[in-house]
Amino acid sequence: MSTAPIEFLKGHGTENDFVIIPDHDGRLELSPAAVARLCDRRAGLGADGVLRVVRSAAHPEARAMAGEAEWFMDYRNSDGSVAEMCGNGVRVFARYLQHAGLVGEGDLAVATRAGIRRAHIAKPGPDGQPGDVTVSMGRAALPEGEVTVTVDGRSWPARNVNMGNPHAVAFVDDLAHAGKLFDAPAVTPASAYPEGVNVEFVVDRGPRHVALRVHERGSGETRSCGTGACAVMVAAARRDGADPAVLGHPVTYTVDVLGGRLVISELPDGTVEMTGPAVIVAEGVLDASWAARVLA
């Protein structure tokens, strides 16, 4: 590990929180154990995941995207596992780039393991607070086949939705039915999700307005999940007969998460857009002796 000071920031998107590690030239190796220690809420900085900020040209998984996106979001879950995408993470990643003076308001492209995601940073609001960030999340895939989610002996049918990462969306009468979500809900058949799955429990709040709780694979229950909110919106629209490809116009849902509110739209071409806040709350430098022990 490099002996140079390791800078970090903390940020969140609707209280889905992240440790941000600027590593522009791709010199830092983060093992799964190191990520888990950084995310530990008692022995580390505490977070749902780590966002390592690397120039696409400096990362082997992103070099092919460097011509379209200068920056690669190397996202890891809090247990250290690698994830394809994180919707809230993209918004916070974009906010970091703005905070660091690397981009301004307007459009930018971010490389992820699920492909390039395009974001738009809005102008500050009348109160002077940073504007929301909108992310084009790509198109949802709706794999065929029945899926069932089970918690505490109670089961529900679930919609299989893939937003670059896998989701099982179950509509329930009460969010309390999700239980404590310390452990992953049982999802069958297991063959539907060979690499694990994020599970969303959803209730209706009003016309085109839903609320959710989510168990993220590799992290447990989180305050928010951007790809999960998008998966929920797509599943709810199909349930409600509001397929934008059929209607010929965008369909928008308000999606409440434990940490706030997101606005999700699906366009007639299938592209899903997510709009919500992104906040940088702190920045600093890791203690050198702690980093040497933990990140070595």
Q: Is 230 a known active-site residue?
A: no
- Contact between residue 165 and residue 114 where contact means Cβ atoms under 8 Å apart: yes
Distance CA 107, CA 154 (A): 45
**Is 15 annotated among the ligand-binding residues?**
no
* Contacts (Cβ under 8 Å, ≥6 apart) of 121: 94, 95, 98, 103, 104, 105, 106, 108, 130, 131, 133
DSSP alpha helix (H) spans, the chain: 32-39, 87-99, 226-239, 244-247, 288-294
- Single out the residue of 259, 258, 238 nearest to residue 247, CA to CA: 238
Say which of 28, 225, 255, 264 is annotated catalytic. Answer: 225
Q: Are 211 and 175 in contact (CB under 8 A)?
A: yes
Distances (CA, A) of 275 to 10, 111, 260: 20, 18, 12
Active site residue 225: yes
DSSP-based three-state secondary structure for 257:
strand
On the 0-12 / 13-18 / 19+ scale of CB atoms within 10 A, 169 is buried
| 192 DSSP 8-state letter | G
Annotated catalytic residue, options 86, 108, 133, 168 = 86
Question: Does 162 carry a binding-site annotation?
Answer: no
Flag whether 160 is marked binding: no
Beta strands in the chain (DSSP E): 7-13, 16-22, 49-55, 71-77, 106-112, 115-121, 133-139, 147-151, 154-162, 166-171, 186-188, 198-206, 209-216, 220-222, 251-257, 260-266, 271-276, 279-285
> Which residues are known binding-site members?
16, 77, 87-88, 165, 198, 216-217, 226-227
> Which residues are known binding-site members for substrate?
16, 77, 87-88, 165, 198, 216-217, 226-227
Residues carrying an active site annotation:
86, 225
